[in-house]
A and B are shown apart, each in its own frame.
Chain A
Amino acid sequence: DAGITQSPRYKITETGRQVTLMCHQTWSHSYMFWYRQDLGHGLRLIYYSAAADITDKGEVPDGYVVSRSKTENFPLTLESATRSQTSVYFCASSENRGTGLFYEQYFGPGTRLTVT
């Protein structure tokens, strides 16, 4: 199906475990993003990627690792999960049509992660 998908949709893990959240988009968008959504904080950027093999930190990157070997995939890994990483994680993608042109981001359905 066309669009942006995330897996798993729900995940429960224990403190200290490594967990990877997957994101896949079929639009060939250059940019991809990971946000977390927490009550009282809204959505905050964790990492983003401008293209394959180009990634950079956002507002709250600590404890997370990303990679982007293919344009369509942008996995997010929690190296050693902590309870403070319990959140809803959204992946998004966006076109890149030129400098200074900010296009809307399209979001995946989200992954609800609980760290016990």
Chain B
Amino acid sequence: AQKVTQAQTEISVVEKEDVTLDCVYETRDTTYYLFWYKQPPSGELVFLIRRNSFDEQNEISGRYSWNFQKSTSSFNFTITASQVVDSAVYFCALSAVLNYGGSQGNLIFGKGTKLSVKP
């Protein structure tokens, strides 16, 4: 069965601290995709990154970086020099092949990590 575990339910940091959000996944698929989404207090879900299982290179986008390690089935997300605007719930998700056609996936979401960044 496919599963995403975000063990950290809530994290609180002070502005400018670095913070890492953990994501561990389970899948039997040889090809799969991993995603991170941000849900700020306003409630919308914002796509952050998509990574396929064959690309283990780390990705950096500004203050955000992602570390994908297939050996440990982890796809961790680090925010460097956190800011108050980073306060949100962050979801890690794993693709799953749908019944029809197999050409697109459902997302299996973790339960999210609520990040609070205090000034």
Contact = CB atoms under 8 A, between A and B. Distances in A.
Interface of A: 30-31, 33, 40-45, 48, 50, 54, 56, 58, 88, 90, 92, 94, 96, 98-107, 109-110
Interface in B10-69: 31-33, 35, 37, 43-45, 47, 50, 52
A94 B103 CA distance: 11
B105 A43 contact: no
B50 A100 contact: no
Contacts of A42: 91, 109-112
Q: Is the interface of B mostly helix, strand, loop or mixed?
A: loop
A45 B83 CA distance: 32
Contacts of B44: 107, 109-110
Interface of B: 31-33, 35, 37, 43-45, 47, 50, 52, 91, 95, 98-107, 109-112
B111 A40 contact: yes
A96 to B, nearest CB: 5
Contact of B102 (A56, A100, A109): A100
A33 B106 contact: yes
Contact of A107 (B32, B45, B104): B45
B104 A94 contact: yes
Contact of A104 (B35, B102, B103, B109): B35
Contacts of A48: 98, 106
A50 B101 contact: yes
A110 B112 contact: no
B103 A99 contact: yes
Contact of A105 (B99, B102, B103, B107): B107
Contact of A56 (B33, B99, B103, B110): B99
B33 A43 contact: no
A110 to B, nearest CB: 5
Nearest to B47: A104
B44 to A, nearest CB: 5
Contacts of B106: 33, 45, 48, 58
